[in-house]
Amino acid sequence: MILQHHLVLTLCAVYGILLKVTAQKSTLRGSSGQHPLVQNQTVTEGGTANMTCRVEYNDQTSLQWSNPAQQTLFFGDKKALRDNRIELVRASWSELTISISEVTLADEGMYTCSLFTMPVKTAKAYLTVLGVPEMPEIDGLTKPALEGDEITLTCMTHGSKPAADLRWFRNEKEIKGAKEVNASGKTFTVTSSLQLLVDRDDDGAAYTCKVDHVALLQTPQQATEVLEVHYAPRVVITNSLTFPQEGQYLKLECVSKGNPSPDPVMWTKDGGELPDLERMIVEGRELTFTTLNKTDNGTYRCEASNHLGTSSAEYLLYVYDPNAMGQHGPDHALIGGVVAVVVFVTLCLIIVLGRYLARHKGTYLTNEAKGADDAPDADTAIINAEGNTHAEEKKEYFI
Ligand SMILES: *[C@@H]1O[C@H](CO)[C@@H](O)[C@H](O)[C@H]1NC(C)=O
Ligand SMILES: *[C@@H]1O[C@H](CO)[C@@H](O)[C@H](O)[C@H]1NC(C)=O
Ligand SMILES: *[C@@H]1O[C@H](CO)[C@@H](O)[C@H](O)[C@H]1NC(C)=O
Ligand SMILES: *[C@@H]1O[C@H](CO)[C@@H](O)[C@H](O)[C@H]1NC(C)=O
Ligand SMILES: *[C@@H]1O[C@H](CO)[C@@H](O)[C@H](O)[C@H]1NC(C)=O
C-alpha cells in the first residue's frame, strides 16, 4: 500500500517534469523559432511573380506582405491594396503566398513579409524584373552597295534589362562588332556596329544580328539583311580543246561575272568584227567553230560590260595542221618517245642477258674440262671440279 502510494507520487513527479519540458519547448518555439522566411524572385516582364512567406512554428500570429512603397498588399487572407494583378494564392498560419501577374519594371523592388509577434519580425525579398529586348533592327544598308564602298551596319535593340548582348554573323560565321550600351530609364539600348569594305563576295551574303539575353531563352531575337553588291564584270575565256586541229569542233566560252549581269558579251577577231562564216556561231556567251580551218588563226577577244565598267579577255587561236602533228602534237610525240625508250631498254636488257648467259656457259665448260684432266671418267671430273663450279652450275640452272 505504502509502496503503491510512493509509485503514484513518483509517476506524478515524472509527469510534472515532462509537462515542464514541453512547456519550455513551446516557449522556445514561440520566441526564436518563429521567423518569416522568404526568397528573392526574378521574373520576366509580363510574367507572374509568386511571393511566398513561410513560418515554421506559428502560434496563430498574422502574416503580411507589403510592396517596395511600404503599402500593405495582403494582411493574412485580407486584400489591402486595390490592384487586380495582385491575388491570394495561399493563406494559412504557416504560409502567405500572393501572386503578382503582368509584372512591369515598376514592380521591381524590395518586398517585405511581416510576422506580428512582439516585436514584429520581418523578412525581405527582392523582386527582380527582367526587361525583354525588343526585336533588333539593322540600319545603314544601301541597296545595292557598290564594290569598294565602306558601309557601317548598325544593329539596335531597346528595352533590355540587364543590357542585352548583340552578336554579328556573316553567313552563320560569327564576326566581331563594336558594342555600345546606353541606359534609358530602367532599361538599356544596345547598339552594335559593323564596318564593312564591300567586296563582290559580299553579294548575297547574309548579315545577321542576334540578341542574347536571359529573358530570351526560348525565343531568340534576330534580324538579317542580305547584301546586294554591284560590281564591274570580270571576264575569262574557257576553251574545249587544248590543241585545236583543222577540221575539229571548238567551243570558246566567255565566262563573265558581274552584277548586274553583263549580257550579252561581244566577240571580235584581231580587233575587228568576226568574219561572217557559217562555221562560226555566236550563241549567248559561246563562240563555236563547227570545223576549224587554218584561216581561223588569230586573236579572239570577248568583252562584257555593265554600267560599272567593261572587262575583256583574249584567246590566241592557233589551228594545228593534223598532217604535221608529228611535230606539233606533243601528246603523240610524247607517247612515241616513251615507246622508243621502252623498246630501247628492252633491247638492251635482252642483249645484256644473252651475253651473261653465254659467258657462264663458257665457264662451266672450262671447269668441266679442268676436272677431267685428273679424273678417270666424266662424273668424277665433275665431282673434282665441284668445289669451285657448283655454285655457278646452280646459277645457270636457275636462269
Ligand atoms: C505561382 O503559383 C501558382 C499556384 O501555385 C502556380 O500555378 C504558378 O505556376 C506559380 N507561378 C510561378 C511563376 O511560380
Ligand atoms: C536578395 O536580393 C537582395 C537585393 O538584391 C540581396 O542584397 C540579397 O543578398 C539577396 N538575398 C539572397 C538570399 O539572395
Ligand atoms: C549613347 O550615348 C552616347 C553618349 O552619351 C551618345 O554619344 C550616343 O549617341 C548614344 N548612343 C545611342 C545609340 O543612343
Ligand atoms: C579552209 O578554208 C579554205 C578557204 O576558205 C578552204 O579552201 C579549205 O578547204 C578549208 N580547209 C578545211 C580543212 O576545211
Ligand atoms: C595558222 O597556223 C598554222 C599552224 O598550224 C599555219 O600553218 C598557218 O599558216 C596559219 N595560218 C594563218 C592564216 O596564219
pLDDT-derived band at 191, boundaries 50, 70, 90: very high
Q: Whose CA is nearest to atom 2 of ligand 4?
A: 293
- The answer to whether residue 11 scores a pLDDT higher than 90 is no
pLDDT class of 102 with cuts at 50, 70, 90: very high
Ligand 5: residues with CB < 6 A are 294-295, 297, 318-321
CB of 322 shorter than 6 A to ligand 4: no
Whether residue 109 is predicted with pLDDT greater than 70 in this model: the reply is yes
Ligand nearest to the CA of 289: 4
Q: Which residue among 180, 187, 189 has the greatest number of ligand 3 atoms within 8 angstroms of its CB, and so is best to mutate? A: 180
pLDDT over 60 at 146, yes or no: yes
pLDDT band at 234 (very low <50, low <70, confident <90, very high): very high
42-68 pLDDT, tens per residue?
999 999 999 999 998 888 889 999 999
Residue 111: other Cβ atoms inside 10 A? 24
Contact 136, 155 (CB under 8 A): yes
Confidence category of residue 185, pLDDT binned at 50, 70, 90: very high
Beta strands in 13-120 (DSSP E): 36-37, 41-44, 49-55, 63-66, 72-75, 78-79, 86-91, 95-100, 109-115
Query: Does 321 sit in the ligand 4 pocket, CB within 6 Å?
Result: no
Task: Look at residue 239 and tell me whether its pLDDT is greater than 80.
Answer: yes
For 181, other C-beta atoms within 10 Å of its C-beta total 15
% pLDDT > 90, the chain: 59
Ligand 1 lined by 89 (C-beta under 6 Å): yes
Whether residue 123 has its Cβ less than 6 Å from ligand 1: no
Query: pLDDT of 288-344, one tens digit each?
Result: 999 999 999 999 999 999 999 999 999 999 998 888 755 544 455 544 555 455 544
CB 245 within 8 A of CB 292: yes
Whether 129 and 45 have beta carbons less than 8 Å apart is answered as: yes
Which atom of ligand 4 lies nearest, measured to the CA of 293?
A: 1
In contact, 96 and 72? CB cutoff 8 Å: no
Give the residue among 290, 291, 287, 292 at the shortest CA–CA distance from 302.
287
203 Cα–ligand 3 center, Å:
31
Mean pLDDT of 242-254: 92
Look at residue 387 in the predicted model and tell me its pLDDT: 42
Using the predicted structure, report yes or no on whether residue 7 has a pLDDT greater than 60: no
Q: Which residue is associated with the grid cell 570577248?
A: 302
Q: Is the CB of 97 under 6 A from ligand 3?
A: no
> To the nearest whole number, what is the mean pLDDT of the chain?
80
Residue 182 in contact with ligand 3 by CB distance below 6 A:
yes
Q: Ligand 4: does its nearest atom lie under 6 Å from the Cβ of 295?
A: yes
Q: Confirm whether pTM is higher than 0.75.
A: no
The mean per-residue pLDDT over the stretch 359-385 comes to 45
> 259 pLDDT exceeds 50?
yes
Query: Looking at residue 288, what is its pLDDT?
Result: 93
More confident: 331 or 287: 287
- Is ligand 2 within 6 A of the CB of residue 128? no
pLDDT category of residue 123 using cuts at 50, 70 and 90? very high
- Ligand 2 pocket, 171 CB below 6 A? no
The yes-or-no verdict on residue 13 having pLDDT over 60 is no
Output the nine-digit C-alpha cell for 158.
531597346
